[in-house]
Chain A
Amino acid sequence: SQQGEEDPQALSIQEGENATMNCSYKTSINNLQWYRQNSGRGLVHLILIRSNEREKHSGRLRVTLDTSKKSSSLLITASRAADTASYFCATAGNTPLVFGKGTRLSVIA
């Protein structure tokens, strides 16, 4: 299975701190995507990183991809209370998107 697995399962930080979430997967991929899900809502696409890219930025988000280790990380800098949500990585290969179980991030004001 190429299912992504996020680590940690839950993360609690103070507002202003940085949050780092990791994702590991098992098979080769075309790209890896990160999504955010607020409680009781649908998923919102955050960023897509292709297999030939190593790092990508979008605002306060920084994503890295290490295909040799089959892992990715999502860094949220200067976190805000509004960043409180679940974050999922999704791997894309020759099959439809495969989502991990997510990291639940709580940012305390």
Chain B
Amino acid sequence: NAGVMQNPRHLVRRRGQEARLRCSPMKGHSHVYWYRQLPEEGLKFMVYLQKENIIDESGMPKERFSAEFPKEGPSILRIQQVVRGDSAAYFCASSPPGTGPSDTQYFGPGTRLTVL
């Protein structure tokens, strides 16, 4: 049973480009969470999605960042016009139906974004 999958694992972008990060939750999971981790820091919550719905985006920057979790396919975290400060590790987590953001989450390996 495959765990949470994220790709790419490493992504390099130049300032002003767009970054697209993908997350496939564990099989049977319907909730997806995105987090950002800066070096030597803990994870910071960004957004919580269920299929076709954004439930909580209180941690998302107001501009340039968006997330979706379509009916079919992976969840996408999109960062437009990247800046150096966006360089970080982005982690996706998932949880099964009937759970919520305060329950156990299962994490992917992360995408390390470097903005040149």
Contacts and interface: CB of A to CB of B under 8 A. Distances in A.
Interface of A: 3, 30-31, 33, 35, 41-45, 48, 88, 90, 92-93, 95-102
B1 to A, nearest CB: 15
Interface stretch (B39-47, B65-73, B74-82): B39-47
Given A31-B102, A43-B107, A96 B48 contact: yes
Nearest to A100: B42
A92 B43 CA distance: 14
A99 B56 CA distance: 17
Given A42-B108, A43-B91, A96-B33, A30 B102 contact: yes
Given A30-B102, A92-B101, A101 B107 contact: no
Contacts of B4: 42
A46 B49 CA distance: 24
Instruction: Determine which residue in A3, A44, A96, A101 has the highest number of CB atoms from chain B within 10 A of its CB, and name it.
Output: A96
A100 B41 CA distance: 8
A88 B56 contact: no
Contact of A45 (B6, B56, B102, B104): B104
* Leading 10 A-B pairs by shortest Cβ distance: A92-B102, A99-B42, A96-B101, A42-B107, A43-B107, A96-B45, A99-B43, A42-B109, A101-B42, A100-B42
Nearest to A29: B102
Nearest to A88: B42
Given A96-B56, A96-B59, A45 B105 contact: yes
A48 B104 contact: yes
A97 B101 contact: yes
